[in-house]
Amino acid sequence: MANIVITGSTKGIGYGLAREFALLGHKVMISGSSDTSVDNALTNLQEAGVVAGHTANVREAAQVQALWDAAETKFGSVDIWINNAGLARTVWSIVDTPSDEIQSMVTTNMLGTINGCQIAAKGMLNRGEGKIFNMLGGGSDGEMFPGMGVYGSTKRGLDYFTNALIKELKDRPLIIAKIRPGMIITEGVVREARADFDNFQKSRKIMNNLVDTVDTVSPWLAKEILATTKSGRKIRWLNGGKIAGRMLMSKIKPRPDQFEAFGL
């Protein structure tokens, strides 16, 4: 059984992964940016298995180090570290994105992941083994979407950063890999859709063919993460073949509306 740390795991796909790992018998340390979010998540996860929590702002290296230290103290070691903490604000063009939102996205997505990789890698190198996974997303392969200029740039940068880390550590006993979870309906997606509902409605039909829920994707991702034994792997839920297949099937039999259950 592995000891696993997941940043940004009080909600969304991070929470879903924490739950799946715990149900599989692994020990999980969840983390969020507020005591309230961590406490609420722990309450909801208490029956899933062995789950502990620690509050940490990933933008601050000292707090990320404290998260690592807390996991080591609680579990004795850290086998898998998942940099999942991220922030998406997708209702503005690049020109219109407020400066504070740009600051939040860049520091959370980029700096937060760099902090996590540096601290986890140092700790794992001292131990002699470990796995680090970085959560990528829309834009990481260079694709462009309306409203995602800043967010997509951070994910594109993370792809470059992860590749660089893979090369730097290629002769060391660590596994560095990427995760592209696809288009998941999370609290953040619902918030963004409501904030720009008219544009959401315009793309709703296409998006409906591509999105999935946390409960659908998390079990598959968790098993793939555990099965990863080679550095440089990209775990990708929504690949080109799946996209093409869904688009083709939608012409034959429309997919049930995935957004209705979320009040959209």
Q: What share of the chain is helix, strand, coil (3-state, %, to 5)?
A: 55, 15, 30
User: Exposed, middle or buried, 182 (CB in 10 Å: 0-12/13-18/19+)?
Assistant: buried
| Catalytic pick among 68, 75, 81, 151 | 151
Q: Reduced to 3 states, what is the DSSP secondary structure of residue 254?
A: coil
Neighbours of 201 (CB within 10 A): 11
- Long-range contacts, 39-42 (Cβ 8 Å, 24+): 40/10, 41/9, 41/10, 41/11, 41/15
Instruction: Dig out the tokens for 57 from the structure.
Output: 């702002």
The angle formed by the CA atoms of residues 164, 169 and 170, to the nearest 5 degrees, is: 95
Question: Mapping DSSP to helix (H, G, I), strand (E, B) and coil, where does residue 226 land?
Answer: helix
Q: Are 127 and 77 in contact (CB under 8 A)?
A: yes
Residue positions counted in the chain: 264
- Provide the token pair at 130: 């470990």
DSSP 177: E
Tell how strand 211-213 and strand 183-185 pair up: parallel
Question: If 0-12 CB within 10 Å is exposed, 13-18 middle and 19+ buried, where does residue 81 land?
Answer: buried
For the question of residue 15 being annotated catalytic, the response is no
Q: How far apart are CA 56 and CA 241, in angstroms?
A: 38
Query: In angstroms, rounded to a whole number, what is the distance separating the alpha carbons of residues 36 and 84?
Result: 19
- Catalytic residue annotation: 151
